[in-house]
Amino acid sequence: MSRVLVTGASGFVGSRLVRALVDRGEQVKALVRPGSSLKQLRGYSPGQVELAVGDIMVGHTVFAALAGCNRLYHVASNFRMWAPNPEDILAPAIEGTRNTLEAARRRGLEKIVVTSSVAALGTTSDRSSMDESSEFNLPDAETYILSKYRAEEVVQEMIDAGLPAVIVLPSGIFGPGDWKPTPSGDGILQYLRYPPWLKFPVTAGGLNIVDVDDVVSGHMLAMDNGSIGERYILGGDNVTFEEMFGILSDYTGLARPGMNVPRGIVMLSGVLLELAARFGGADPAVTRRLARDYAFGYAWVSSEKAEAQLGYEHRPAKVALERSVSWFLEKGYVSENVTRRLRLELRPT
């Protein structure tokens, strides 16, 4: 029987992956950092999930966790777009990936799936869809974007040296279980808390939206059917920001998208929010680089390769967004005042 290690097992994607692996009868080891919240990993028997405490920045702890395993899902990532010290994001992505894959090489694992991101591709300005052959086009990107690109360089280097790894590139992930929440989930919460009598500000860009459980399914398909050395985009529907918030408005009855924000205003907001964060504020919702590259760009992708070669499928963006909203409401992430304004019927998550 296959025994797998999942790094980042307490996170959004990692915890959903652990659940799916257990549901199909696999023995799972869950690598978690000391002090991590284990809320999303409760309810399993010792025979289903074994916790392994370690840190991808400390290679010998990953090596120890891999004892008895023959497969690895490397999901761990510091999903922050920006940090006052960029190394807080870059080091786990680059050195953490190198440490983890080196430990896997030493253990002689039969197969590894590494979670990257479509961030490692960049954006377009003409609404065209990128695919696995697209070259990264944001050399001065925000820290998280750059970290995903440079982590992929490490993976490819080790694949070239014989490591049996497959790379998957999820797009914008939404859906249930985003407990931290991620920057994507935080965008949903900002919308829910926005005054419903105002138009919600949007820009002219767009993104690709995928449900977390479709991403999880794609990981397992990549493990089962993916070819060593290949990259597979795990995406969903391409939507504009206006379409995205239109879907949310139709579901919740809250603010309609509108107020197309000029580029200069978005750029200035990024600069000011970044400055505030440096003086002890929360992570900025937008930064100067994110405003420049994404607010008016299109992070649109095609999952045709994964569909054809892995049997990958995805649900509509509408469903992914509605599942995200429902989960946040069920778990109490918004106030009762906000909840009373909603007209939706909660759907199972």
Question: What is the residue-wise DSSP string for 114-162?
Answer: EE--GGGT--BSS-PPB-TTPPP--TT--HHHHHHHHHHHHHHHHHHTT
Phi, psi of 209 (to 5 degrees): -110, 130
Which is nearest to 75 in space by CA: 142, 21, 134? 21
Q: Exposed, middle or buried by CB within 10 Å (0-12, 13-18, 19+), for 44?
A: middle
The three-state secondary structure class of 173 is: strand
Looking at residue 11, its pLDDT comes to 94
List % helix, strand, coil for the chain (3-state, nearest 5). 45, 15, 40
pLDDT digits (tens, 9 = 90+) for 215-243: 999 999 999 999 999 999 999 999 999 99
Q: Is 275's pLDDT higher than 70?
A: yes
Which is nearest to 57 in space by CA: 105, 102, 91? 91
pLDDT digits (tens, 9 = 90+) for 35-66: 888 888 988 887 899 999 999 999 999 999 99
Report the percent of the chain where pLDDT is more than 90.
Answer: 79
B/e letters for 85-122, b = 16+ CB within 10 Å, e = fewer, are eeeebbebbbbbbbbbbbbbbebebebbbbbbbbbbbb
Rounded to 5 degrees, what angle do the CA atoms 302, 72, 21 make? 75
DSSP 295: S
Mean pLDDT check: name the lowest of 12-21, 97-106, 140-149, 331-340.
Answer: 331-340
pTM of the entire structure? 0.94
CATH topology of domain 3-171+212-235+302-313: Rossmann fold (3.40.50)
Mean pLDDT check: name the lowest of 18-22, 111-115, 258-262.
Answer: 258-262
- The confidence band for 74, taking pLDDT boundaries of 50, 70 and 90, is very high
Task: Tell me the mean pLDDT in the region 120-136.
Answer: 94
Q: Exposed, middle or buried by CB within 10 Å (0-12, 13-18, 19+), for 258?
A: middle
Residue 103's contacts (CB-CB under 8 Å, 6 or more residues apart) are: 59, 60, 62, 63, 66
Looking at residue 319, its pLDDT comes to 97
Q: Exposed, middle or buried by CB within 10 Å (0-12, 13-18, 19+), for 146?
A: buried
pLDDT digits (tens, 9 = 90+) for 282-329: 788 889 999 999 989 999 999 999 999 999 999 999 999 999 999 999
Phi, psi of 211 (to 5 degrees): -80, 140
Q: Where is pLDDT greater, at 317 or 77?
A: 317
Task: Tell me the mean pLDDT in the region 159-163.
Answer: 97
Give the β-pairing of 257-260 and 200-202: parallel
pLDDT digits (tens, 9 = 90+) for 181-215: 999 999 999 999 998 888 999 999 999 999 999 99
Which is nearest to 95 in space by CA: 84, 107, 85, 87? 87
- The confidence band for 331, taking pLDDT boundaries of 50, 70 and 90, is very high
CB 241 within 8 A of CB 247: no
The three-state secondary structure class of 49 is: strand
Rounded to 5 degrees, what angle do the CA atoms 283, 287, 290 make? 120
Q: Where is pLDDT greater, at 345 or 287?
A: 287
Which is nearest to 332 in space by CA: 318, 346, 317? 346
* The dihedral formed by the CA atoms of 38, 41, 46 and 50, expressed in degrees to the nearest 10: -70
Looking at residue 336, its pLDDT comes to 87
Residue 238's contacts (CB-CB under 8 Å, 6 or more residues apart) are: 127, 129, 206, 207, 208, 298, 300, 301
Q: Is 349's pLDDT higher than 80?
A: no
Task: Tell me the mean pLDDT in the region 174-181.
Answer: 95
Looking at residue 262, its pLDDT comes to 86
CB 213 within 8 A of CB 175: yes
Task: Tell me the mean pLDDT in the region 156-180.
Answer: 97
Rounded to 5 degrees, what angle do the CA atoms 20, 1, 230 make? 65
Q: Is 345's pLDDT higher than 70?
A: no
Looking at residue 84, its pLDDT comes to 87
Report helix angle 183-192 to 317-330, nearest 10.
70
Which is nearest to 16 in space by CA: 38, 36, 41, 33? 41
As a whole number, the mean pLDDT across the chain is 93
DSSP 294: T
